Each structure stands twice: as structure tokens, then as C-alpha cells.
Amino acid sequence: MKVSFNSASDTSGARLVARIVEQDKLPADLDRANAEGTRAARFTGKAGQVFESFVERGGEVVRVALAGAGPNGDSRSAALERAGAALAAKYLTSGETSIALDAAGLDAESVASVLLGLRLRAWRHDAYRTRLKDDQKRTLAKVDVIAAPDGARAAWKTEQALAEGVEFTRELVADPPNVIYPESFVERCIARFEGTGAEVSFLGEKEMRKLGMGALLGVSQGSDRAPRLLVIKWLGGRKGAAPTVFVGKGVTFDTGGISIKPAAGMEDMKWDMGGAGAVAGAMLSLALRKAGANVIGVCGLVENMPDGKAQRPGDVVTSMSGQTIEVINTDAEGRLVLCDAITWAQKEFRPAQVIDLATLTGAMIISLGHEHGGLFCNDDALADKLLRAGLASGDKLWRFPLAPAYDKLIDSPIADMKNVGPRWGGSITAAQFIQRFVDDGTPWAHLDIAGMVWADKPGATWDKGATGFGVRVIDRFVRDTLE
């Protein structure tokens, strides 16, 4: 969506004019008819409320919208995003092609928050929809900010980079598995990062086999699609400073392998690469806004299929770390991908800290529903930073325990460990598994975002489908703790 800025307060020529109002503070210049209309419609300016009316100006009928931003409090930024998102939801397919956003009374950061919410809510994946009726097609394509305050353009430039990262993640997650698979995921990233200053590279199957990545390769061996280990480097911080590494699970389609999933709902498993998608999108945001931090994204990309070469329940594989794993369930594949990716990242980059993101367990959805991502961490300071970043960004997290009692549940009688424990505590034992591959003394966090990357209904700043969850918490974490 194109955004332009105008310091003048002239809205003449605009067909749709929008204003942002605080709760219980209607504009003083609102005419009597509209003031009565807001009362009749019970519009008070609550966050996300929209009131619409029509006025005549210079012989032209103009559409006027008031969007509520709630009370001016601690959650002001999120409320302003909801105001912008509400405008997008209402007018995206309205026939209007542009909105004149009257920014009078807003500061630069507030304007950027409104625009961020508007743009994120306006994203929709229509690439394969060829039979939309005219009233279903997107028409809204431009926002003209009127009476823009000083600094609004610069504030929006930062948030625009964030929006582009979220949109890129949504695109990767929403595309079908015959379009996004390990090789094409890498190709999409190479094309999208061109000109950003980030360095994009990858390891192929031969390189990974030479390195001994038996766990990751065991997952991919049943597929005709070749695996990839994608690496995205952004070194915008102090030269020589140890980087923070984000590792993403990228199972581009997950049948469950030989431990095959039920047919009903299996189509959803195109988004089992949501962790890798979030890492790629976050890295794009950081590169576009030239973040002052050393950050590296590593994505283990595989497809989990059940053909005659596929890994079997009962197989024992040797990970890059040298630890052996008895594969009890081939549908617990994400941790096998992550363990080799994390091992390689530690050996290659000697990171200051490692944070992985993965749609790892259905048990996480049972625990938290679709309201929070799960957080597991071996370092209290790192956990606190991530929890704060989640609250500030809206990508909320909830911390779970790690303990030796849980660790015992994945001991194997014939190998160093099993890839699953008992039914109870499934998200915790999955995290305990990953922790076994984290070097001593390395701060590490695991974000299980299984319930968050896809939505069955629209949310505050997303439509039904891919949410882009994970990008914003990474971006906020980098802003608040690394820059």
C-alpha cells in the first residue's frame, strides 16, 4: 500500500477522509448531525470502532470516517494500530482507492502506528483467486497523510520495514506446498533480499551430509524435494561482536512421514515452516531498516514425506553433534531439523545467544490456544527480555518450565535419546530435546509458535490465514536489547 505525506491540512478532492479519535473525546469541530449520529450509533472511540457518515463539501459528497483509538494509556501504540486496521478492514473492498488520513493532533509515532495497523490489516493473499466478484476485490491502494507532523515520514520508514517483513512471512506461510518447498523458499529469499545489504547463502544436501547432519537429513530422505540450510546474515552492529542467531524450523510440508497424520486438516501443514518464515521475515525487516546489530538467521528447510525411502519409527540417526536419536515417531520431525541447525550455527558463528522459532507441537495449542506462543529458556535474563518484547510488539509469549525431571522422559534404552516422550508435557519434552544440543554457557530460548502462525478468523491486524507471528517479537527484541 502506497503512503504519501503532506504537511498541509487541505483535504479537498478527497472522497474518503478518516480521523483518529480518543475514547470519549469526539472532535470539537464535529457538526451537530454527526455528533448526534455518533450517539445514535453508540460510537465512543473505543479501540477499533469506526463511525461513518457523509458530508457535502463544495458540491461534492465526501465520506467521513472516525476511527477509535481508545483511551490514551500504556497500550496506546497497539490501540492506534487497531484504529488503522479497522479502517483497512472496512474500506479494503469498498470501492474507495485511497484514504485521506487527517493526522491533526497526532505525533509522528502515533501516525506510524496507525499506518502500520492499516497496512498489516490490508494484506490479503489473492494470488490464486481468479473468480472474485467486483465487490470482493481489493480497491484500497493508497493512504494520503494530511497535516503530517514533523518526523512522521521517518517514523513510518522504520515501521514500513517491519510491515514488509511481516508481509514476506505471510506470503511464505500462505503459499501452497507445491510453490514453497526447500529450494523455492531459498530462491524466494535470494530474490527478496537483493539490494538490502544482507548476505544470503545456503547449504545443500551434499554439504550437510559431509557435516554429519543425520537428524535433519533423516527427515528429508522420504521426499523428492532436496533439503536446504538457509543462512541470512545482517552484520550492522559492532565489528567482530558475537551475533545473535535466530533458527527457524522450515518443514515446508509435513505429512507426518511414516507416522502419517490424519487426512482431515493435513492441508494446513503447509504452514509447518512458520518458524523459518518468521526468521526470514524478521531478517528482512532488520536489513531494510539497517538495524544496528549483528544478527544471523538460519533456517532448516525440509519436506516430510512417507515414500519407500522414508525414515521409519525405530530408526536410530546420528546428529551433527554426535548424539544419537531413536526415532519413535516420524511426526516429531521439527526437533530433528532444529537440533542439527542449532549445532551448525553454534560451530559456525559462536553466537552470543540462540533463539529458535518453530511450529513444534500440537500440545502447545492445547496449552495456550491461539493467544500466546510458548517460551522455553535456559537464561532468566533472556527470557525476561523476550517476554517484554512480546508484550510490546503484540506477539505475546508465555514461559514454560525446563527441568531434569522432564528431561528423563526422553531417555532411550538403545540411543542417547528418543525424539518423543510420553503424551503428557509434550511441548516441554520437545524443548528438553532441543536443549540437549545447546552448548554449555550459551543463552538459548525456544519459541513454540504452533498456535500462532495461522488464524481461522480475522484478528486485530490480520485477515484470516497467515498472521506473520514471530517477526514483530524478533524485531522488538533487537530494537530493545541489541541496538
Give the integer Cα–Cα distance in Å for 261 and 451: 17
Contact 185, 276 (CB under 8 A): yes
Burial classification of residue 37, based on how many CB atoms lie within 10 Å of its CB (0-12 exposed, 13-18 middle, 19 or more buried): middle
Annotated active-site residue 261? The verdict is yes
Left (φ > 0), alpha (ψ -120 to 50) or beta: where does 198 sit? beta
Residue 402's SS3 state is: coil
The residue written with cell numbers 525431571 in the block is: 405
Phi, psi angles (nearest 5°) of residue 247: -115, 130
Write out the three cell numbers for 119: 497496512
Strand partners, 5: 145
Q: Which amino acid is at 70?
A: G
Write out the three cell numbers for 41: 450509533
- Catalytic one of 46, 90, 138, 261: 261
Give the integer Cα–Cα distance in Å for 201 and 213: 18
Give the integer Cα–Cα distance in Å for 477 and 473: 6
Q: How far is CA 250 from CA 107, 169, 207, in A?
A: 40, 12, 18
Q: How far is CA 317 from CA 298, 329, 416, 418, 419, in A?
A: 22, 13, 10, 10, 10
- Catalytic one of 119, 170, 289, 335: 335
Annotated active-site residue 290? The verdict is no
Looking at the annotation, which residues are catalytic? 261, 335
